[in-house]
């Protein structure tokens, strides 16, 4: 197994979703040093790899029944289950070591995303709320980066004395809504298969029209969250967030007319995070 197989297994390109919000959390915390940024990146990459590896392991039976996912590594046997668990251990080590190098509070709270990652694959078996749980998993990214910076000076007071409110709370909630809006539409590809195999996705439960309407509402909600979370004198950040909200709504509303809606939505969603980061930096 080479590097190419590993990156394909964990879909390394999807890291582009969480990285801008990791950086946003660090920026909101203050002025991170180069060393802090490096350890935050190591922890973030570890968390992302762990989440995807666990998802692939736990969902391998579901993936085998879906024509779209039947060629994934564990299903076709190009990566063994032992190798997948080994990758989990490596990624978990990156998360824990990165958090530990930042501060004690970050280290002692590193269990939280791990638990969230383990639970997520099972949610789709029981509730259409699985999309929101996935959003929660990514919403922890800016919060974790923020804690990695402020935990050194504030200690547990960073959490217990609500230093995370309102900026980090609304940023994390905004990320949750943003990812949920994307994932609702992403699940449209598997509606028939989900209904056949008892997967409780939102589109399979409520249909395509409700999915489009709800994802547009979530887009307005994440814009409102980022507007509230915006630091003082950050008009440019709010403007950038508003522009990207309109772009996302435009793509979602035109899903019937776009040649490749899923690809358009993917690139739009990736761009959204980096534009928001650019707006925050510029502010």
User: Residue ranges of the domains in the chain?
Assistant: 3-282
Of the candidate CATH numbers 1.20.1730.10, 3.30.565.10, 1.10.357.140, 1.10.1760.20, the domain formed by 3-282 belongs to 1.10.357.140
Nearest to 123 by CA among 58, 42, 71, 77: 58
With tokens 């997948």, the residue in question is 84
CA distance 190 to 143: 31
166 upstream amide cis, omega within 30 of 0: yes
Single out the residue of 227, 229, 137 nearest to residue 183, CA to CA.
137
pLDDT at 17: 79
Residue with tokens 């070591």: 97
Contact between 87 and 9 (Cβ < 8 Å): yes
pLDDT at 31: 85
What is the per-residue pLDDT for 233?
59
Q: How far apart are CA 234 and CA 255, in angstroms?
A: 32
Q: What is the mean pLDDT of each run of 10 residues along the chain (283 residues)?
A: 69 80 94 94 95 94 90 87 94 97 97 97 95 96 97 96 95 96 94 92 95 97 93 83 96 89 92 94 85
Q: How far is CA 255 from CA 188, 248, 252, in A?
A: 11, 11, 5
Which pair of tokens denotes residue 264? 């358009």
Q: Considering all CA atoms of the chain, what is the largest pairwise distance in Å, rounded to the nearest integer?
A: 54
Query: Do 226 and 241 contact (CB within 8 A), yes or no?
Result: yes
pLDDT score of 3: 67
CA distance 218 to 127: 18
Cα dist. 132→53, 92, 98, 174, 186 in Å?
Answer: 19, 23, 27, 11, 13
């Amino acid at each position: 197994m080479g590097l190419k197989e590993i990156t394909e297994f964990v879909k390394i390109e999807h890291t582009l979703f969480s990285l801008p919000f990791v950086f946003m959390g660090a920026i909101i915390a203050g002025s991170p040093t180069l060393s802090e940024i490096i350890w935050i990146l190591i922890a973030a990459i570890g968390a992302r790899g762990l989440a995807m590896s666990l998802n692939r392991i736990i969902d391998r039976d579901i993936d085998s029944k879906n024509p779209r996912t039947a060629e994934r590594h564990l299903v076709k046997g190009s990566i063994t289950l032992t190798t997948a668990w080994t990758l989990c251990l490596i990624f978990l080590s990156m998360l824990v070591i990165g958090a530990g190098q930042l501060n004690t509070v970050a280290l002692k709270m590193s269990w939280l995303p791990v638990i969230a990652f383990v639970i997520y694959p099972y949610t789709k078996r029981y509730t259409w709320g699985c999309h929101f749980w996935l959003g929660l998993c990514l919403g922890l990214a800016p919060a974790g980066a923020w804690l990695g910076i402020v935990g050194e000076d504030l200690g547990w007071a960073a959490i217990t004395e609500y230093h995370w409110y309102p900026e980090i709370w609304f940023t994390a909630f905004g990320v949750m809504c943003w990812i949920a809006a994307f994932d609702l539409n992403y699940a449209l590809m598997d509606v028939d298969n989900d209904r056949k195999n008892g997967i409780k996705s939102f589109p399979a439960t409520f249909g395509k029209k409700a999915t489009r309407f709800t994802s547009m509402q979530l887009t307005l909600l994440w814009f409102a969250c980022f507007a509230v979370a915006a630091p003082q004198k950050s008009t440019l950040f709010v403007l950038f967030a508003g522009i990207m909200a309109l772009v996302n709504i435009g793509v979602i509303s035109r899903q019937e007319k776009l040649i490749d809606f899923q690809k358009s939505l993917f690139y739009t969603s990736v761009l959204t995070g980096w534009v928001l980061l650019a707006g925050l930096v510029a502010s």
